[in-house]
Structure 1
Amino acid sequence: MGRLDADVYAELDERLGPVDAHLRRRYPGERRDRQPVHTVYVPADRCGPGLVAEWGAAALAALNDHPPLPYPADLHDRVAGKLRREPIEDLRIDFEDGYGTRDDPTEDAAARAAGRLLRTVPVPFTGVRVKSLTGAGRHRAVRTLDILLDALLDAAGSPPEGFVLTLPKVAVPAQAAAMALLCGRLETAYGLPAGWLRFEIQIETPAAVLGPDGLATPARLIDAAEGRCAGLHYGTYDYSTACGVAAVQQSLAHPVADFAKAVMQVAAAETGVRLSDGSTNVLPVGDTGAVHAGWALHAALVRRSLEGGFYQGWDLHPAQLPTRYAATYAFFRDGRATAVQRLRAYLGRQSTGVLDEPATARALAGFLLRGLDCGALTPTEVGFDRVDLLAL
């Protein structure tokens, strides 16, 4: 029976019980609800009631005017259908870099208009990016949020599902903590449930990756957000510039970007905080040759992000939507057969030459769920009930 008495068990439980509780709170596991494949940033002064339809029409026009695209022809109908049905998965109305500095009456009016638009815009995920909480922009950021929420909640009563705030230019945990405080104050002012407002943190300064103490900052930012951090979004160009990368070399595939994103990825792992890659500013516009070059670059970058475990990215122009969906669909369709085969073998305890563990089975199920959510795969092609996949 062994020689240890019951006191040893009790002592270990006393020592490690609080540790167990901390780990459950800090690392609850990956979320299994839908994550958008992209975030579309549109300056506030360019947002109107027809925005989504206009982006969808422009994307379809690019698809029709500049064939072929850099993906298998059998994806064309699937991509075109997506552009007609749901061209934008996540819309972020931008009051920061894309909007610039305006006088207060102009931004006040834009904030009210954005709030009204967000009541009815046909997009499953929405939000707003305000100016940073640094220096002179701080009061303007708070004022814009206040006015926008007032307009949004005047008729809607509560923010729509999938609504999130985006905080740019974060450098230190104190800024994430201040944003969490602001969210709480806004919830009190508008009678929202505690914890309703959540925000994404943009990682676009070197200090947001590595602090002066030599410690990785993203994990500290997540802690400082007090459960309100919904995601970490990489900011390609601000970060690259701050690191001294020449403008012509700046890319989300540059080594400095890979380092920053690796730190983000480890910090966010198992926390429920999601990751988003950045954007490319090389747009598929102009003559057919220029469009094809832009598409080839964008498609390759989207595929690279997906292979690296970043399932979301930024899009800045309607003509990027065809390759966003084409590259995403190709990624999930290319991996579907293997994922289905391995998951069936795992559940049936069959040998396939790959010894999958429970963690890998969850990854396989997560892959298929993401493919279903974005429209790359159909339930018939997956062959598993969603409930069964979520249970793994």
Structure 2
Amino acid sequence: MKKSRVSLLGWVVIALVSGIVFGHFLPDAIARIFVTFNSLFGNFLSFAIPLIILGLVTPAIGDLGKGAGKLLALTALIAYGSTLFSGFFTYFSCSAVFPQIISPSAELVAVENPEDFMLKPYFVVGMPPLMDVMTALLLSFTIGLGLSIISGTTLRNGFNDFKDIIIQVIESVIIPLLPLHIFGIFLNMTVSGQVAGILFMFVKVILVIFILHILLLLIQFLIAGGVSGKNPFRLLRNMLPAYATALGTQSSAATIPVTLKQTLRNGVSENIAVFTIPLCATIHLSGSTMKIVACAMAIMLMAGEPIHLAAYSGFIMMLGIAMVAAPGVPGGAIMAALGILQTMLGFNETLQALMIALYIAMDSFGTACNVTGDGAIAVLVDRIAGKRPRESA
């Protein structure tokens, strides 16, 4: 996992830089070859997104409900609440900050209408999806909730197999081709003279998100400390080894042993820690939610699109559910979010590619925020569940 995630980030950086460099001298005739690939890949992605939603969300909801006890329901509710808080905290913070540092830009106004400003593919192959994204979401909720209630296993096993197929498509097809897709996007934008402002926006957004994710962790541990009666700064300090490990591994799963060890140091009962930490590594992605919300807002501001609380409220609530279903593969969280970015915020394939590039550029910080926050949730669950905490080291 570590190797693949690090190499993905490296390939994305190489693709981005190469697209800009080659875009300054590559003839339009050759550049259009990559634009044609982008068209094919983008159409395939549009075809695959409803299947990704159906294959990931359905078994995730079904598994959460299967044999659901109070502890599972409590942990899932707190994790979802933390994800929602992260989304709305990011929305209001960025609403105050981004308009001061990001202005509507001709670069992304052009990206909003690429057919008017950018190179066109040599040919287009239509790949209509089997259903629209909202239908896939509603179908996933309906079947997933049904699976959580019924005792039969045939349909559940079928959807688990379908989930394995979807993860293979993501791991073996979509993720390996993403760098080439990003190369083509930045190549086209460079040829069309649309890239300088976008790169400058990337730097500003990354800086803002880094500050916000530190503030989010402070808030999470202030709440955990207040509820448990423990020193929140000591709780956060004890989780720093997990934070540092996640920066290196870029994987919540690979960081579980360290997260678990440091959670025990915070006085969480062993039976609570052993249950909550692996579960939260899957369902609690507050850092990933922060990145997606902030990046989407930045791109929409640059594109001159209005940002309304009503639209973003629904987006954040749906995003919280999508994060529960995010697969543990490189770029899994952003892949799970593409459908609602497309449906609820109107992101076309070019804006989706920019989201992917910007998201992966900050992947390590988001993962570190996710796993460190897992420690705060474990403290909350331990206190609410009525377990007697041990003395922290």
- Which structure has greater strand proportion? 1
- Which structure has greater helix proportion? 2
Larger Rg over CA atoms: 1
**TM range, smaller chain:** under 0.3
Return the TM-score normalized by structure 2: 0.23
Return the TM-score normalized by structure 1: 0.23
